[in-house]
Amino acid sequence: MVYDASVRLPGCAWTEKHSAQGFARRESTVNFNTPLEFGYAHVTVRLENYQPQVEYNRVIAVPFLAVSGKIIVDGPEEMSVQRTFNLTLGNYRLVAAQRITGNEEEVIDLFFESLTEPLERSAVLVADDALNPPTPLIEMAETAGEK
């Protein structure tokens, strides 16, 4: 999960279509599926534009709005670990570029590309065999645990 510290409940409610596209998001939060179901991910945050690399197995770009200046990155079973960084307020294109590096290891590079206007649509830039994104992509998810 990548989310602005202002988001009270960062989890998104996943549907089959969200799983097929590899992400579920709301305005200032995004939950990414990873190519590996179990294992360890080395996550790097980059405040620069994404540059394609053939090593990436999955690449997804989504709109992201930083409203508090503090961004949090959490794993599904790591809610007690605080990984935060500061980000200038505004609109971003958040690109999650993922590659498998071992049986239970992967690398996730998060690129925050500053924008003057909000990005209108998400995009699956590289799809691995586990993805089958719907057309159009599902842009918004419900909050997990709320109805």
| All residues at 6 or more sequence positions from 129 whose CB lies less than 8 Å from its CB, including other chains | none
Supply the pLDDT for residue 1: 93
Supply the pLDDT for residue 95: 98
From 35, 116, 110, 97, select the one nearest 71 (Cα to Cα): 110
Cα separation of 32 and 40, whole Å? Answer: 15
Cα separation of 1 and 11, whole Å? Answer: 7
**Would you place residue 53 in the very low, low, confident or very high pLDDT band (cuts 50, 70, 90)?**
very high
pLDDT beyond 70 at 146: no
- Residue ranges per structural domain of the chain: 2-143
In this structure, what are the phi and psi dihedrals at residue 93, rounded to the nearest 5 degrees?
A: -100, 115
pLDDT beyond 80 at 61: yes
CATH class for the region spanning 2-143? mainly beta
**Would you place residue 88 in the very low, low, confident or very high pLDDT band (cuts 50, 70, 90)?**
very high
**Would you place residue 79 in the very low, low, confident or very high pLDDT band (cuts 50, 70, 90)?**
low
Supply the pLDDT for residue 147: 54
Length of the chain: 147
